[in-house]
Amino acid sequence: MNTDGADPAFRVVEQTVRESYGKLVAWLSVRTRDVALVEDVLSEAFVSALSTWPRDGVPDHPVAWLLTTARRKMLDRFRQARRTAVVDTTHLEQLPEIAVLSPELPDERLGLMLACAHPAIDSALHAPLMLQVVLGLDAARIARAFLMSPATVSQRLVRAKTKIRDAGIPLSIPDVEVLPQHISTVRDAIYIAYGTGWEATPGEMQTRGLATEAIWLARLLPQLLPTDAEARGLLSLLLFCESRSAARRSRTGQFVPLSEQDCGLWDQAMISEAQTVLAEAAAFRQPNRFQWEAAIQSVHADRCRTGTTEWPVILQFYGELIQAAPTIGNRVGHAAAVAEVHGPRRAIGMLDELESPLIQFYQPYWAVRAHLHHRLDENQSASEALTRAMALTDDPAVRHYLSELATGWAMPTQ
């Protein structure tokens, strides 16, 4: 078999995998409810394609060919295993005709994504499951991104797929009463997937982070659910964040805080796309968490044009954000914006009001607090907070940045 990839048949297989993988998994899973089995037979079908297409030529409808092959393999499995699960094979038997008649598969990925992020599935698995089932990422890659062992990830993903099958988790779009709640778990999972790459250095990002994959999913969601304003808010937010990825680290890999970033390194095309998507979201007049977060990022992005950061506008958006999502992170961000507009004293007062169990191990709280005390020349408090912030970061580059800061402030850190 020719494995150098030069054969056009390989390229067609590769392209079909990239463009149609999630759709194929969705279409077959909706009809069999067995995601793990579908993944198995699909990967066998891709292997068959790799061995037969270079020999016999690429079929007219590659997707239909793959579906037909996957279906045949699935029926074989059903017969062999005499599976006890109740499976309606009517659709499977009709499959060849359907596939040949319409080479364009109907897109049922939203149902698949909703199943992956169903509230009955452990929320820690929503993002890993979606990345594997919709994008075909392997467990090792997911494990690296989520800092888990590959064996643990594989085992937990298998269990989750079994639960989808045996607990009757729907692979369809639910009623309007529960749809908003279920969609919010899908958005959260995509957001979490994006966050995996956040602390990676530029060199690591390709292997460790899943930012590209997360943005791919975030682009998909508004296509599948055009009326969801927050799906666009999420996409806009991720694009704003991603537009700055080249500026977040110096050439030597050092951490560069937003206020010191060279905005010449920001990706202007991505920023402009983020702004367009945010404007589309705003047109729905259903502002919520991700839209407010994106709006805050859009103000930061304006610094490139105007040379200044409009902190009063950011503060106003933070006010809305903490109404929509009063998380600890958002409240700390709110306090930081208050410091820029009303001074550090008032912001420290707000930080003091946060409940201690929440902030004890929350790194950004201590980093912000250190800066605020420093601005008030309260060196003892600044030093204590900075030491805490350094201890709480997992990221060597951030720890290094903070220790440089301590040196610059001429303070000892314990």
Binding site for another protein (CB under 8 A): 82-86, 118, 120, 166-170, 172, 174-175, 177-178
- By the 8 A CB rule, do 267 and 275 touch? no
Which residue in 190, 206, 77 sits closest to 135, CA to CA? 190
Token look-up 């805050």 returns 296
Handedness of CA 154, 160, 161, 163 (dihedral sign): positive
Please provide the DSSP assignment of 6-21 as one string: -SHHHHHHHHHHHHHH
| Residue placing its CB nearer to another protein in the complex, 87 or 392 | 87
- By the 8 A CB rule, do 350 and 335 touch? yes
Joined together, the tokens standing for residue 13 give 């297989």
d(CA 95, CA 110): 21
Residue 359 Cβ, how far from another protein at the closest point, in Å? Answer: 30
Separation of first and last alpha carbons in the chain: 62
Residue 354 Cβ, how far from another protein at the closest point, in Å? Answer: 28
Q: Which residues of 255-290 are buried (b: 16+ CB within 10 A; e: fewer)?
A: bbeeeebebeebbeebbebbbebbebbbeeeebbbb
Residue 217 Cβ, how far from another protein at the closest point, in Å? Answer: 22
Residue 83 Cβ, how far from another protein at the closest point, in Å? Answer: 7
DSSP character for 225?
A: -
Residue 32 Cβ, how far from another protein at the closest point, in Å? Answer: 14
- By the 8 A CB rule, do 161 and 36 touch? yes
Residue 166 Cβ, how far from another protein at the closest point, in Å? Answer: 6
- Farthest CA pair distance, the chain: 77
| Residue placing its CB nearer to another protein in the complex, 75 or 304 | 75
Residue 253 Cβ, how far from another protein at the closest point, in Å? Answer: 47
| Residue placing its CB nearer to another protein in the complex, 182 or 289 | 182
**Beta bridge partners of residue 255, listed in sequence order:** 249
